[in-house]
Structure 1
Amino acid sequence: MRASRDSDLSYDVVRSRRTTADIVVERDGRVVVRVPASIPHQRIEDLVKAKRYWIYRTLAEWRDLNATKVLREYRNGEGFLYLGRSYRLILVGDQDEPLLLKSGRFWLRRDLVNRGEVAGAKSAFRDYFIARGLEWIPERVRYYAPKVGVRPRDIDVRELGHRWASCSPKGNLAFHWKCMMAPPTIIDYIVVHELCHFHYLNHAEAFWNEIDKVMPNFRERREWLKKNGAAMDV
């Protein structure tokens, strides 16, 4: 990866064996230009200049959306998302598991908070969502893969930084554990989105047409994720 700057616009360049160029604004606000390995740098600069208006507009939207990001506290009554619903938190002392969801509440072991650090509590939620994701997401992949006409290999749920999901050249899929905070319909969109990357590695019109074949209302789901993704955190 190479970092570049064009006037007041910074962006990262990722070269790979892909055949087309693509510009995206990642969830963390970084502008990433993905290009074929052989493309000259001057061509990349020309591409960025041609897309300047779109990049600035998308960055402005990103700032507006992240300005409303929810900062949750680990205290009784705080709400935490799971499958699109908000569940109140209860801190308990007599519990073997770090975190449980029962009786319409998240039950978090109090000692994870009393240590004065949030890392333990965050880890409890992350581990819980990974476990639930490994139960939920592979089933949705198996449902949609035949509709998309692909055969993925391994499916994992883990920390993916600024990406909701990824697919490897070998056909392996990975999903961010935070996906489990979204409603089931949005998880399905993320699954279909990633499966369609088996056909197209970019976000050109043909890629979106492929999604449309399987999920005609994908634009509504994509917009929901764009507007609400920043709130999906612990």
Structure 2
Amino acid sequence: MEIILNDKSISFQIQYTKASKFNLDFSPEGLITLKAPKKSTMEEINAFMKSNSKVLLKFEERMSNRTYLSSVKTYESDENFLFLGKVHKLSDLLSEIPETEDGVQEALKKFYTAKTKEIITERLAIYEPIIEVKAKGFKIVDSPATWGTCNSNKQLTFNYKLSMARLSAVDYVVIHELCHIMHLNHDRSFWRKVGMYDKDYKTHQEYLARFGAFMTI
């Protein structure tokens, strides 16, 4: 959704909750989420957003002045890349920077693949006992279309770029795939299960959809 404040368009998403009050959530990447009571009207939502115009405009100004992150890379040492939702210079991620673009891409792919494997191993160890399921194994893959998959043999895959995302979004993907062990489709039972272990899963979906284009090498 959008609201105009001082001639500036502010984009935000609404998450309806059981709480009795409105609450604003700001992600480090610039995503604004309004957590609103279930029966809130659009008039009440707009009134709340306008009453917080100073906070919203200040946040948007800070985001407009943040370090620029492009989906098209130059592969210079000061080029920006994501790791766990934060911006890092190429020189921070690679101790030695190859001379060619192909070499840099290969080194970055190895870096993210290794980090994603470490993180997924850790997060599975946390969530498998909680959800009371056990995957038979997992692989880190280069997938242009998915963040993760689960097949009928309880074998999971995870996109090697997943370590570029913030940890809460990684957790969502892990929870999503573990829930597929019990429900292979995306029916209501599946989403209820996901919601049991990640109440903000819609926010994490939005995050991945919005910033996935910047999770590149």
Provide Cα deviations, 1:115-162, integer angstroms capped at 9, x if missing partner: xxx222111111111111221111101211122221111122121231
Equivalent residue, structure 2, for 1:98? none
Tell me which stretches of 4 or more aligned residues in structure 1 moved more than 3 Å: 107-112
* Cα distance in 1, alignment partners of residues 98 and 205 from structure 2: 38
Alignment of 1:153 with 2:136, yes or no, is: yes
Which residues in structure 2 correspond to 1:7-46 (within 5 Å)?
A: none
Give TM-score scaled by structure 1 length.
Answer: 0.59
Counterparts of residues 38-187 of structure 1 (less than 5 Å)? 70-90=71-91, 105-107=92-94, 109-113=96-100, 118-187=101-170
> % of aligned pairs identical?
28
Distance apart, 1:111 and its partner CA: 3.8
Unmatched 5+ residue regions in structure 2? 1-68
Residues 110, 179 of structure 1: CA spacing in aligned structure 2 closer, same or farther, 3 A cutoff?
A: closer
Report if the CA contact (8 A) 1:152-1:172 is conserved: yes
Cα distance in 2 for residues equivalent to 1:161 and 1:145: 26
Contact 1:157 1:177 in 2 (8 A): yes
What are the Cα deviations for residues 183-225 of structure 1, in whole angstroms up to 9, with x where unaligned?
Answer: 0111000100111111212222221111011111211111111
8 Å contact from structure 1 (residues 69, 230) kept in 2: no
Secondary structure of 2:144 counterpart: coil
SS, match of residue 80 in structure 1: strand
Identify unmatched segments of 5+ residues in structure 1.
1-67, 91-104
- Quote the offset at 1:110 in angstroms: 4.1
CA separation of 1:209/1:86 partners in 2, compared to 1, >3 Å: closer, same or farther?
A: same
Aligned residue pairs total 149
Give 2:186's match in structure 1, choosing from 191, 200, 203: 203
Query: Structure 2 vs 1, CA of residues 203 and 73 (structure 1 numbering), >3 Å: closer, same or farther?
Result: same
Residues 171 and 106 (structure 1), Cα distance of their counterparts in 2 relative to 1, 3 Å cut: same
Q: Cα RMSD between the aligned structures? A: 1.8
